[in-house]
Amino acid sequence: MGIFIIASTFIVLIVCLLRPRNVKNVYFAAQLYSKIAWLLGVKVTITGQENIPAGSCVYVANHQSNYDIFFLTAAVPSGTVSIGKKSILYFPFFGLIYWLSGNIFIERGNKIKAMQALKKTKEKMLKKNMSVWLFPEGTRNYGKGLKPFKTGAFHLARNAELPLVPVSASSYYPNFRLNRLNNGEMIIKYLPPIDKETLLTQPVREVVASVYEKINNEIALLDEETARANRRAVKQHTP
């Protein structure tokens, strides 16, 4: 796995240097890093693609751990960048790749600068017809339940007058082991989008609460589905 990560990072860095800050870099990197899921013994299944809008939108998903870079990246659509905290820039190699890929940094501790970054993001989305992927929890939950949502992603969708697509990923972190060949299945599901009319007419806090409930309820359903699938797999391999 270490060799694969080093090799893929080198490849992504070369591609990003050849076309710096190109929105296509994110999809290329996401598809490459997502291949590591197989080495980690995780089968990633993606559903609900019919809910992806034709144009730009804002995706909001639950965030379990740093391993999401190997699992959730499989679901990142082409033409989509992510928004991450500025401290990512200082991670060796990864910070440089994250910036060169065209992703966007935001200073979460500085409200004024954060709002300025979101305004620039909105302008870039509309100009380049790109989408944005965010983790509204603002941090990793480590499989201990969905944390409260911040409102930045919802304000971004509202101000840009673009649909917002909730994304639910089944829980993998509590039972994940690096030294295990089979870590079961992880299901990522796109939920029906929240249209711009709803975002413009309903109070942001109400939309946040509604989306939180939708994502949380879907995670519970996906967890039941993966648990059944994993039990079937165990029975099939039991003598």
Structure confidence at residue 239 (pLDDT): 63
* Under 8 Å between Cβ of 64 and 143: yes
* Whole-prediction pTM: 0.94
pLDDT above 70 (res 238): no
Pairing of strands 43-47, 185-190: parallel
For domain 2-236, which architecture applies? 3-Layer(aba) Sandwich (3.40)
Strand runs labelled E in 32-79: 43-47, 58-61
Structure confidence at residue 2 (pLDDT): 84
155/106 Cα distance (integer angstroms): 14
Phi and psi dihedrals of 191, rounded to 5? -95, 165
Structure confidence at residue 230 (pLDDT): 75
Residue 202 — pLDDT band, cuts 50, 70, 90?
very high
Residue in the structure block whose two tokens are 């990512």: 88
97/108 Cα distance (integer angstroms): 20
44/48 Cα distance (integer angstroms): 14
* Under 8 Å between Cβ of 186 and 223: no
The residues that bridge with 190 in the sheet, in sequence order, are 167
pLDDT above 80 (res 105): yes
User: What is the average pLDDT across 163-173?
Assistant: 97
User: Would you list the DSSP string of 108-128?
Assistant: TT-HHHHHHHHHHHHHHHHHH
Residue 109 — pLDDT band, cuts 50, 70, 90?
confident
The residues that bridge with 156 in the sheet, in sequence order, are none
Structure confidence at residue 235 (pLDDT): 66
Question: What are 7's two structure tokens?
Answer: 């090799």
Classify residue 25 by its DSSP letter.
H
Helices (H), the chain: 2-18, 24-34, 36-39, 68-71, 94-100, 111-128, 152-160, 196-201, 204-236
118/175 Cα distance (integer angstroms): 36
Residue in the structure block whose two tokens are 């490849």: 11
17/93 Cα distance (integer angstroms): 13
Q: In the chain, what are the domain boundaries?
A: 2-236
- Dump pLDDT digits (tens) for 20-73: 999 999 999 999 999 999 999 999 999 999 999 999 999 999 999 999 999 999
**Number of residues that make up the chain:** 239
Residue 133 — pLDDT band, cuts 50, 70, 90?
very high
Structure confidence at residue 18 (pLDDT): 95
40/90 Cα distance (integer angstroms): 26
* Under 8 Å between Cβ of 204 and 155: yes
